[in-house]
C-alpha cells in the first residue's frame, strides 16, 4: 500500500504538467528576485506555476497492446468446437455438402501459417470469419433443427431444408468475399513492390 502510494506521488512529481509548472514557477522566482511583483511575488510564482501546468499537454496513457494472432488462436479453438458439434447433427444432403464447403473455407483461412498472418492484419475479415464460426453457422443449424421439428408437427409452409441451404449459400459467398479481399491485399503488396523496384531501377 505504502509503495503504491509512493509510486503515485512520484508519478505526479514526474508528470509533464508538474514539470512545466515548476519551470514556470522557477521563472517566477527569478522575476521576484529581479524585483518584479514586489510584495506579491508569491502570487506571481503561484500564477506562473498554474499557467505552466495548464498549458502542458495532458498525460497520454498508451493503449494496451493487442496481438491479433492471439484472437485467431481462440477462434481456432471455437472452430474446432463447432466442427465437433456439427458431427452430431443430422443435416440434409444438399445442406451437408454446402456446409462442408463453407467449413473448408474457414479452415483454410484459420490454418496456422502465412494465410492466417494475412488474415490477422485485416480486422474486418477476422470479424466476418469470427461471426460466421461463432454465431451464423450455429444459429443456422440450430434454427433448422427446431423448425424441422415444428414442421413435422404441423406440415406445410416453407421447407426448413431450403432455408438452411439458402443461408449456407449466403455464408459461402461471404467467405469467398473475405478470401478475395485477402487476395487483393497480397496483390496490392506485390504491385507496390514492383513499383518500388522499377522506381529504384530508374534512379
What is the 3-class SS of the chain, one letter each residue? Answer: CHHHHHHHHHHHHCCHHHHHHHHHHHHHHHHHHCCCCHHHHHHHHHHHHHHHHHHCCCCCCCCCCCCHHHHHHHHHHHHHHHHHHHCCCCCCHHHHHHHHHHHHHHHHHHCCCHHHHHHHCCHHHHHHHHHHHHHHHHHHHHHHHHHHHHHHHCCCCCCHHHHHHHHHHHHHHHHHHHHHHHHHHHHHHHHHHHHHHHHHHHC
Instruction: Tell whether the model's pLDDT for residue 152 goes beyond 80.
Output: no
Residue 187 lies in a domain: yes
Q: Are residues 111 and 174 in the same domain?
A: yes
Is 44 in the same domain as 108?
A: no
* pLDDT, mean over the chain: 80
User: How many distinct structural domains can be found in the chain?
Assistant: 2
Residues 181, 104, single domain; the answer is yes
Confidence band of 10 (pLDDT split at 50, 70, 90): very low
Say if residue 8's pLDDT is above 70: no
With bands split at pLDDT 50, 70 and 90, how would you rate the model's confidence at 44?
low
Residues 50 and 94 in one domain: no
User: Do 75 and 170 have their domain in common?
Assistant: yes
Instruction: Tell me: do 108 and 137 sit in the same domain.
Output: yes
Residue ending a domain, choose from 32, 55, 78: 55
Q: Tell me if 98 is assigned to some domain.
A: yes
* Residue 6 belongs to domain spanning: 2-55
Backbone angles phi, psi at 89, to 5 degrees: -105, 135
State whether 134 and 184 are in the same domain.
yes
What's the confidence (pLDDT) of residue 148? 84
- Encode burial over 137-159: b for 16+ CB neighbours within 10 A, e otherwise: bbebbeebeebbeebeeeeeeee
The alpha carbon of residue 126 and the mean position of all alpha carbons in its chain are separated, in whole angstroms, by 9
Residues 111 and 141 in one domain: yes
Question: Would you state the pLDDT for residue 45?
Answer: 58
Q: Is residue 95 part of a domain?
A: yes
Residue 36 shares a structural domain with residue 113 = no
Q: Is residue 60 part of a domain?
A: no
Give the pLDDT band (50/70/90) at residue 43. low
- Residue 45 sits in the same domain as residue 82: no
- Condensed to tens digits (0 to 9), the pLDDT of residues 68-87 reads 778 899 999 999 999 999 99
Looking at the structure, tell me whether residues 85 and 136 fall in a common domain.
yes
| In a shared domain, residues 21 and 44 | yes
Residue 63 lies in a domain: no
Amino acid at each position: 500500500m505504502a509503495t503504491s502510494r509512493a509510486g503515485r506521488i512520484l508519478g505526479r512529481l514526474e508528470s509533464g504538467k508538474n514539470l512545466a509548472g515548476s519551470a514556470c514557477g522557477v521563472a517566477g522566482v527569478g522575476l521576484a528576485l529581479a524585483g518584479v511583483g514586489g510584495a506579491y511575488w508569491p502570487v506571481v510564482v503561484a500564477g506562473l506555476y498554474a499557467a505552466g501546468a495548464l498549458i502542458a499537454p495532458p498525460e497520454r496513457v498508451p493503449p494496451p497492446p493487442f496481438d491479433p494472432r492471439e484472437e485467431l488462436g481462440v477462434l481456432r479453438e471455437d472452430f474446432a468446437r463447432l466442427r465437433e458439434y456439427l458431427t452430431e447433427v443430422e443435416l440434409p444432403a444438399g445442406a451437408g455438402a454446402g456446409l462442408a464447403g463453407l467449413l473448408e473455407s474457414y479452415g483454410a483461412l484459420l490454418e496456422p501459417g502465412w494465410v492466417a498472418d494475412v488474415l490477422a492484419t485485416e480486422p474486418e475479415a477476422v470479424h466476418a470469419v469470427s461471426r460466421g464460426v461463432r454465431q451464423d453457422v450455429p444459429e443456422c443449424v440450430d434454427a433448422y433443427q427446431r423448425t424441422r421439428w415444428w414442421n413435422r408437427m404441423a406440415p406445410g409452409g416453407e421447407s426448413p431444408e431450403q432455408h438452411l441451404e439458402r443461408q449456407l449459400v449466403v455464408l459461402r459467398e461471404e467467405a469467398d468475399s473475405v478470401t478475395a479481399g485477402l487476395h487483393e491485399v497480397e496483390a496490392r503488396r506485390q504491385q507496390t513492390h514492383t513499383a518500388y523496384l522499377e522506381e529504384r531501377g530508374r534512379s
